[in-house]
Copies of this chain bind each other. A is one copy, B any other.
Amino acid sequence: MEQHRLDAFQVIADPSRRQMLYLLSKDSLTINSLADNFDMSRPAVSKHIKVLYNAGFISIQDIGRERHCILKQEGFNELHKWLEYFDAFWGSKLKNLEALLNERTNKK
């Protein structure tokens, strides 16, 4: 089948997928009950779910013919690390001083 192996950053780039994660933060939902919240076909939602699953943003529990989607922390880790790097950058007074010095001296 198609690739559908997007990294965490690409996964959250889609507004629909962010909305799905939000909805799942309120309650775990099946594919169909998720699809009720969107203006797209169920297969489209199904694909998004696959993307979210493959990237570790959700786990899926099969109950009979239903697939219950549950939010999963794993997918968020990479994003968290990435943002933390820049948080550290902003947070550090040393960095700020460094930047200031660069601004003043780095104009060859």
Contacts and interface: CB of A to CB of B under 8 A. Distances in A.
Contacts of A21: 86
A63 B104 CA distance: 12
Nearest to A72: B90
Copies in the complex: 2
A27 interface: yes
Interface in A62-103: 63, 68, 70-71, 73, 76, 79-80, 82-83, 85-87, 89-90, 99, 102-103
Range for the number of chain A residues in contact with chain B: 20 to 34
B9 A13 contact: yes
A76 B83 contact: yes
A57 to B, nearest CB: 10
Contacts of A9: 12-13, 15, 18
7 contacts: A9-B13, A21-B86, A27-B106, A28-B99, A70-B99, A71-B86, A79-B79
